[in-house]
Structure 1
Amino acid sequence: MLAVPDSIDIIIPTFRLDEQYLLPLIHLPKPGGWQFNYYVIADNPGVKPGAELQRLAKEGVIHLFINSENKGPGETRNRGIEAGNGSWILFLDDDIVADSDLLLQYVKATKEKATAIGFIGLTDFPVPVNAFTRALDAAGLTSIFTIAKKKEQFMWGVTANIMFKRSALQDLRFSPLLSAIGGGEDIDLGARVSMLHGTQFMCVKEARVTHPWWNHAQPHFDRFTRYGAGMALLLPRFKKFTWYAFPNPIEGWVLALLCAPLFFIFLSWQKWLIFLAAIPLIDMGINYVRAAGMGYRELKVAYYMTLLRCSTEWGMFKTMIGQGKPSYFMKRINVDFTRPRHFRTNRWRITKLVIYLILLSLLIFIK
């Protein structure tokens, strides 16, 4: 099917069909001379569309689909890709608030950079409102959402606000496996499109949306476990961009358990337990220093940062083992897809190594 020139398919996967967010997106101001087609796809067989969404669907303003079974966000977006034929494909989340000129900014970008494979918009978050959201910020878990503020181009962007050129996308689609996991599918597809064409997505910080804090800003960790699982699945897909790292807390525990007989040559079992308990506490201390450097001086922020990190790491570890790939233990991936050194370190890893060595020396030599 040939793509229709000067047309944008706007694909919004949703679970809730919440008209509070969807209707403002549907009614965004639109530049003249362009065709806009909305594909609202509910990944929830039991959801009931509201009266206004039903009216818009009946009048042909939107195309409304309800999956017969839960397929995950990636597969749901794939359904929208197949349903449309716009020359550009804009992915938006179902809970964002878009600036009123969002579509105007994207159309402007296509005119100024017509050869681009796509555009990464800016996805902002509100100001942190509690210790948990400050931890999200300090841990860098929102940084990729705002990549358009920092870069002119990048290999991939979050699907909350990104536009692909259909001709650049070709037959590539979101991975069903990553979609089922619920993490990493946006990295995977964007990187594959970029690599296929030997170029990157252009960043358009003026095309801005605001994303609410997940879970109403309340502490939760399952999302970040899924993110870690997705990262584990990306490692074998992009082997040449992987590298070995200093063990994270989850890997530190695993190593300490596997090496317990060696530890017992030098330590009593009580001291070995002290060492096990110290692993997350050392990480929390490092996180406190990092957060304090950003102006967040609450111990609770460091506590949540450590739990968030451990959640991601647990997702990576259990998925790696579940996939039968223990060789990826202590491996990481460069998500900017630059070629890494075989082993990387930084001041925080060096600091932790020094603290570990001092602690072991104290436990061994102090009777």
Structure 2
Amino acid sequence: MHHLSKSVDIIIPSFRLDEQYLLPVIQLPKPADWAFRYYIVVDNPGVKVSPAIQQLADAGAIQLFINPENLGAAESRNKGINAGNGAWILFLDDDIVADNNLLFAYTAAITKNEQALGFIGLTDFPDPISSFTKSVDVAGLTANFKIANIKDEYMWGVTANMMYNRAAMQELRFSDVFPKSGGGEDVDLPVQISIRHNSKFKCLKEAKVTHPWWNNGKAHFDRFVRYGVGNAHVLPRFKKYTWYGFPNPIESTVLLCVLAPLIIYFLSWQKWLVLVAAVWVFEMALNYIRASLKGYGTLTTAYYMTRLRCSVEWGLLKTGLTLQGPRAFMQRINVDFSRPHHFRLNRWRITKIILFVILLTILIIW
């Protein structure tokens, strides 16, 4: 009989059930004195189970659940949590490539710190393979996946590679208020746990997996809109951590549309158009500079960066207004859930504001 503290439930929500990724994860080398149980929850009623995976399920090597309807990422993970009873719960994505020592790294960390809330592994990405993936990287949209590289502890990590202490999780689960397609729920749960215990998850860069570039590195923006939608659901759940900031390009455009009658009346519709265009020209220009500082300075990269950031901001704004009304406008939350300033300064936004004020002054005088 294995000691309970040496038991790990590995939960993998899946849609594709792609054996090229799943089989190596199931076959990972394992410490001899630990018990591991796999719970693969398929959120796709029409999935075709490959013979190799069906054989593992029939042999009891994995527990395979196929949802009768699409329940979403949060509920699928909850199903895995509730099916198991391991002292530790490791969440992995169904399309990652894990280092061979992954389970050894986690179990060694548990042995050193049995009271930890859990551990945030490193989810790395390959080197950028296109202008689009360079833009994703420079825009900071992979930063939270790689947080274990730069922090010793943090309040949350992505569920592509993260371990929870079941005793610390208690009755808390992934919330069903978040979109079924995922986004936000992987922030919400660990932060709830961190706040409850007044502690943080340990970062563990030795526990590494590699995540492939989404969509084979080709341009797409719906995922990043979903990130914004997820963030919008996080904000009202952690109100004391929220603050207000300078308007982003989406909010600036909305403001200019609201103020259009006044601007057109006092200036002209041509000057109003110049102001709207300026919002986007300044954004593109500063993104070009930011990309150049990372060695990726091309107009294509600047364009993709602008669209990526605005995809997140559009998802955040449209959902925020639906959930909270006008108070969501220009509302922000620090990703590390540090105490907010009432209004935070940002050199890029300040630069854009100054340029915009100079342009407005010229238009008024002209």
TM range (shorter): over 0.9
* 2-structure distance, mates of 1:219, 1:310: 14
The residue number in structure 2 matching 1:162 is 162
The residue number in structure 2 matching 1:244 is 244
Does structure 1 retain, via aligned residues, the 8 Å contact 2:118–2:165?
yes
In the TM superposition, structure 1's runs of 4+ consecutive aligned residues that sit over 4 Å from their partners are none
* 1-structure distance, mates of 2:250, 2:184: 20
With the length of structure 2 as denominator, give the TM-score of the two structures: 0.98
**How far did residue 181 of structure 1 move?**
5.5
Residues 18-29 of structure 1: matches in 2 within 5 Å? 18-29=18-29
Q: In the alignment, residue 187 of structure 1 is paired with which amino acid?
A: V
Residue 138, structure 1, aligned to residue 138, structure 2: yes
**How far did residue 328 of structure 1 move?**
1.5
* 2-structure distance, mates of 1:340, 1:181: 29
Residue 184, structure 1, aligned to residue 168, structure 2: no
The residue number in structure 2 matching 1:97 is 97
Does structure 1 retain, via aligned residues, the 8 Å contact 2:229–2:316?
yes
Q: In the alignment, residue 47 of structure 1 is paired with which amino acid?
A: V
The residue number in structure 2 matching 1:209 is 209
SS at match of 1:229: helix
Does structure 2 retain, via aligned residues, the 8 Å contact 1:91–1:159?
yes
SS at match of 1:204: strand
Does structure 1 retain, via aligned residues, the 8 Å contact 2:264–2:271?
no
The residue number in structure 1 matching 2:338 is 338
SS at match of 1:356: helix
With the length of structure 1 as denominator, give the TM-score of the two structures: 0.97
* 2-structure distance, mates of 1:118, 1:314: 33
Does structure 2 retain, via aligned residues, the 8 Å contact 1:181–1:229?
no
The residue number in structure 2 matching 1:124 is 124
TM-aligned CA distance change 1:156 to 1:146, over 3 Å: same
The residue number in structure 1 matching 2:351 is 351
Does structure 2 retain, via aligned residues, the 8 Å contact 1:159–1:186?
yes
Does structure 2 retain, via aligned residues, the 8 Å contact 1:181–1:230?
no
SS at match of 1:144: coil
The residue number in structure 1 matching 2:320 is 320
Does structure 2 retain, via aligned residues, the 8 Å contact 1:75–1:179?
no
* 1-structure distance, mates of 2:190, 2:281: 37
Q: In the alignment, residue 62 of structure 1 is paired with which amino acid?
A: I
The residue number in structure 1 matching 2:43 is 43
Residue 303, structure 1, aligned to residue 303, structure 2: yes
* 1-structure distance, mates of 2:94, 2:361: 53
Residues 229-268 of structure 1: matches in 2 within 5 Å? 229-268=229-268
Q: In the alignment, residue 172 of structure 1 is paired with which amino acid?
A: L
* 2-structure distance, mates of 1:314, 1:105: 39
The residue number in structure 2 matching 1:57 is 57
TM-aligned CA distance change 1:181 to 1:52, over 3 Å: closer
User: Percent identity of the aligned residues?
Assistant: 59
Does structure 2 retain, via aligned residues, the 8 Å contact 1:243–1:332?
yes
* 1-structure distance, mates of 2:291, 2:143: 15
**How far did residue 262 of structure 1 move?**
2.0
The residue number in structure 2 matching 1:153 is 153
Residue deviations 1:157-189 (CA, integer Å, cap 9, x gap): 000000000000000000111142621111100
Does structure 2 retain, via aligned residues, the 8 Å contact 1:148–1:205?
yes
* 1-structure distance, mates of 2:323, 2:180: 14
SS at match of 1:325: helix
Does structure 2 retain, via aligned residues, the 8 Å contact 1:7–1:86?
yes
SS at match of 1:48: coil
The residue number in structure 2 matching 1:293 is 293
Aligned length: 364
* 1-structure distance, mates of 2:287, 2:106: 38
**How far did residue 363 of structure 1 move?**
1.9
Residue deviations 1:211-260 (CA, integer Å, cap 9, x gap): 00011111000011011011111111111111111100110011001111
The residue number in structure 2 matching 1:78 is 78
Residue deviations 1:281-309 (CA, integer Å, cap 9, x gap): 21111111111111111111110000001
SS at match of 2:11: strand
* 2-structure distance, mates of 1:13, 1:146: 21
Superposed CA RMSD = 1.1
Q: In the alignment, residue 43 of structure 1 is paired with which amino acid?
A: D
SS at match of 1:257: helix
* 2-structure distance, mates of 1:231, 1:293: 28
TM-aligned CA distance change 1:331 to 1:357, over 3 Å: same
Q: In the alignment, residue 158 of structure 1 is paired with which amino acid?
A: V
**How far did residue 271 of structure 1 move?**
1.4
